[in-house]
Structure 1
Amino acid sequence: MTTAPTVAPEKTGQTKTKYYPDYKVIVLNDDFNTFQHVAECLMKYIPDMSSDRAWELTNQVHYEGQATVWVGPLEQAELYHMQLRRAGLTMAPLEPA
Structure 2
Amino acid sequence: MSAIAPTVTPDRTAQVTRKPYPNYRVIVLDDDFNTFEHVATCLMKYIPGMTGDLAWKLTNQVHFEGQATVWVGPLEQAELYHQQLSRAGLTMAPLEQA
Name the TM-score, length of structure 2 as normaliser.
0.89
Q: Match of 1:18?
A: 19
The count of residues paired between Structure 1 and Structure 2 equals 97
* Shift of residue 8, structure 1, vs aligned partner: 1.7
Equivalent position of 2:95 in the other structure: 94
* Distance (Å, rounded) in 2 between the aligned partners of 1:54 and 1:10: 50
- Between the aligned partners of 1:18 and 1:84, the Cα distance in structure 2 is 30
Q: Closer, same or farther in 2 for the Cα pair 1:6/1:28, shift >3 Å?
A: same
Unmatched runs of 5 consecutive residues or more in structure 2: none
Partner-residue secondary structure (3-state), 2:34: coil
Structure 1 alignment gaps of length 5 or more: none
Does the residue aligned with 2:19 lie in a helix, a strand or coil? Answer: coil
| TM-fit CA distance, 1:16 | 3.5
- Secondary structure of the residue aligned to 1:7 is coil
- 2:60 is aligned with what amino acid? N
CA distance in 1, matches of 2:35, 2:29: 13
Match of 2:38 in 1: 37
Q: In the TM superposition, what whole-angstrom CA distance separates every residue of 1:39-72 from its partner, at most 9, and x where no partner exists?
A: 0000000000000000000000000000000000
Q: 1:12 to 1:88 in 2, by over 3 A?
A: closer
Trace 1:1-97 onto structure 2 (pairs within 5 A). 4-11=5-12, 13=14, 15-97=16-98
Identity fraction in percent:
75
**TM-score normalised over the length of structure 1:** 0.90
Structure 1 Cα separation of the partners of residues 38 and 90 of structure 2:
9
Q: Give the direction of change, closer, same or farther, for the CA distance of 1:35–1:92 in structure 2 (3 Å limit).
A: same
